[in-house]
Chains A and B, each alone.
Chain A
Amino acid sequence: MKKYLFLSTALILGALTFSSCSSDDDSNGTPSEEAYKNRTYGTEAIDACDQTVTALGRANEAIATAKLSDEQEAALRQVLTNLVNHVIVPTYTDLADDVEDLEKTLNGLTVSTITQAQIDKACADFKAARQHWERSEAFLGGAASDFSIDPTIDSWPLDRAELLDYFKGGMTAEIEDESTILGFHALEFILFRNGQNRKVSELQGNDTYKNFESVSGADELKYAQQVCRLLKERCFQLQVAWEGEKNASRVAVVKAAGLGYRTVNGLSYGENLVKAGIADSKSTFPSLKEAIAQVLSDDEGSCVAISNEVGTAKIANPFTNGDIAYVESPYSYNSITDFQDNIRSIRNVWLGSLDGSAAQGSFHSFFAGVGMSNVNDEMEGAFNSAINKIGAMPSPFVKYCSVIWNKNFDDPTNWESTSEE
Chain B
Amino acid sequence: MNKLSRLTIVTMLAAPLLSACSDEDSATVEDLGKLTPDEHVFGQATGNFSAEEWFPGGELGTTEKASYSSPAPALASISGMEEDFNVGEDFFEHLYTIDQAPRKGLGPAWVRSSCFHCHPSYGHGKRQTEYRANTVGNGYLLVIYHPQEAFTSDGVRYTTEASGYISEVTGMPQTQAMQPFKAPIDENQIQIQWKNVEAMPSGLPMTFPDGEQYALIYPEVTIPTSAFNTSPKPSDYEVRLESTIGIYGTGLLDAITDEDIEKQWASEARFVDMNPNMWDKAAGTFKASAYYSAAYNNTGSFHGDHGPLKRFTYAMTRGSLQDGAGSNAVWNITNVTRSDRHFLYTTPAWAKAMSEDPEVISYIKSHGSSPLSPLYPYYADGTDEGIKTRVNEILSCSSVAKKSTFDKYLFEGAPYNGKDEMSDKQYYQFMVWHRGLAVPAARNLNDPQVQRGKQLFSEIGCAQCHRPSWTTGSDNMWVDAATKAYADANGLAKDGDYTKLLPKYPNQTIWPYTDMVQHRLFMENDIRTGWCRTTPLWGRGLSRRLTGADDRLHDCRARTVTEAIMWHGYSKQSQGYRAAEKFYKLPKEDRHALVKFVESI
Q: A264-B544, A290-B66 are in contact. Are A9 and B134 (CB under 8 A)?
A: no
Q: Which residue of B lies closest to A166 (CB)?
A: B179
- With a CB–CB cut-off of 8 A, which chain A residues contact B10? 65
Interface flag for B90 (CB, 8 Å): yes
Interface flag for A180 (CB, 8 Å): yes
Interface flag for B150 (CB, 8 Å): no
Give the number of residue pairs across the A-B interface with Cβ within 8 Å: 223
Q: Which residues of A137-165 are within 8 A (CB) of B?
A: 145-148, 151-152, 155, 157, 159-162, 165
Query: B21 contacts A300, CB within 8 Å?
Result: no
Interface flag for A117 (CB, 8 Å): no
Query: B178 contacts A165, CB within 8 Å?
Result: yes
Interface flag for A312 (CB, 8 Å): yes
Q: Which residue of A lies closest to B188 (CB)?
A: A174
Interface flag for B293 (CB, 8 Å): no
Query: A151 contacts B35, CB within 8 Å?
Result: no
Query: B13 contacts A62, CB within 8 Å?
Result: yes
Interface flag for B29 (CB, 8 Å): yes
Interface flag for B86 (CB, 8 Å): yes
- With a CB–CB cut-off of 8 A, which chain B residues contact A151? 95, 114, 116, 136
Q: Which residue of A lies closest to B544 (CB)?
A: A284
Whole-angstrom distance from the CB of A257 to the nearest CB of chain B? Answer: 13
Q: Which residue of B lies closest to A75 (CB)?
A: B32
Query: A66 contacts B100, CB within 8 Å?
Result: no
Which of B36-44, B156-164, B521-529 sits within the interface?
B36-44
Contact pick for B97, options A54, A159, A177, A373, CB 8 Å: A159
- With a CB–CB cut-off of 8 A, which chain A residues contact B444? 286
Interface flag for A113 (CB, 8 Å): no
- With a CB–CB cut-off of 8 A, which chain B residues contact A323? 101-102
Whole-angstrom distance from the CB of A273 to the nearest CB of chain B? Answer: 11
Query: B100 contacts A58, CB within 8 Å?
Result: no
* Distance A376 CA – B374 CA, assembled complex (angstroms): 54
Query: B30 contacts A369, CB within 8 Å?
Result: yes
* Distance A419 CA – B493 CA, assembled complex (angstroms): 19
Whole-angstrom distance from the CB of A160 to the nearest CB of chain B? Answer: 7
Q: Which residues of B142-184 are within 8 A (CB) of A?
A: 178-179
* Distance A412 CA – B374 CA, assembled complex (angstroms): 12
* Distance A145 CA – B70 CA, assembled complex (angstroms): 17
Which of B72-80, B323-331, B546-554 sits within the interface?
B546-554
Q: Which residues of B1-59 are within 8 A (CB) of A?
A: 1-2, 4, 6, 8-10, 12-13, 15, 17-25, 28-39
Interface flag for B277 (CB, 8 Å): no
Q: Which residue of A lies closest to B93 (CB)?
A: A313
Query: B101 contacts A417, CB within 8 Å?
Result: yes
Q: Which residues of A165-180 are within 8 A (CB) of B?
A: 165, 168-169, 176-180
Query: A72 contacts B35, CB within 8 Å?
Result: yes
Interface flag for A15 (CB, 8 Å): no
* Distance A67 CA – B24 CA, assembled complex (angstroms): 27
Whole-angstrom distance from the CB of B424 to the nearest CB of chain A? Answer: 8
B96-130 vs A, Cβ < 8 Å mask (1 yes, 0 no): 01111110100000000110100011100000000
- With a CB–CB cut-off of 8 A, which chain A residues contact B70? 299
Query: B65 contacts A298, CB within 8 Å?
Result: yes
Q: A293-B66, A417-B426 are in contact. Are A317 and B90 (CB under 8 A)?
A: yes
- With a CB–CB cut-off of 8 A, which chain A residues contact B547? 145-146
Interface flag for B135 (CB, 8 Å): yes
Q: A57-B2, A69-B33, A264-B550 are in contact. Are A159 and B98 (CB under 8 A)?
A: yes
Query: A373 contacts B6, CB within 8 Å?
Result: no
Whole-angstrom distance from the CB of A299 to the nearest CB of chain B? Answer: 4
Query: A4 contacts B21, CB within 8 Å?
Result: yes
Query: A177 contacts B134, CB within 8 Å?
Result: yes
- With a CB–CB cut-off of 8 A, which chain A residues contact B69? 299-300
Interface flag for B372 (CB, 8 Å): yes
Query: B2 contacts A67, CB within 8 Å?
Result: no
Interface flag for A421 (CB, 8 Å): yes
Q: 5 A–B contact pairs at CB < 8 A?
A: A62-B9, A66-B35, A72-B33, A376-B22, A420-B423
Report which A residues bind B (CB closer than 8 A): 2, 4-7, 9, 50, 53-54, 57-58, 61-63, 65-69, 71-72, 75, 145-148, 151-152, 155, 157, 159-162, 165, 168-169, 176-180, 211, 263-265, 284-286, 290, 293-294, 298-300, 312-313, 317, 321, 323, 325, 358, 360, 364-366, 368-377, 380, 412, 415-417, 419-421
Given contacts A62-B9, A264-B549, 9 further A-B contacts (CB under 8 A): A66-B13, A159-B100, A160-B99, A284-B544, A298-B66, A370-B32, A371-B34, A419-B426, A420-B101
Report which B residues bind A (CB closer than 8 A): 1-2, 4, 6, 8-10, 12-13, 15, 17-25, 28-39, 65-70, 86-87, 90, 94-95, 97-102, 104, 113-114, 116, 120-122, 132, 134-137, 178-179, 367, 372, 374, 423, 425-426, 429, 443-444, 544-550
10 nearest A-B pairs in the assembled complex, by CB-CB distance: A146-B548, A373-B20, A177-B134, A148-B136, A420-B423, A369-B32, A66-B35, A299-B67, A67-B38, A159-B97
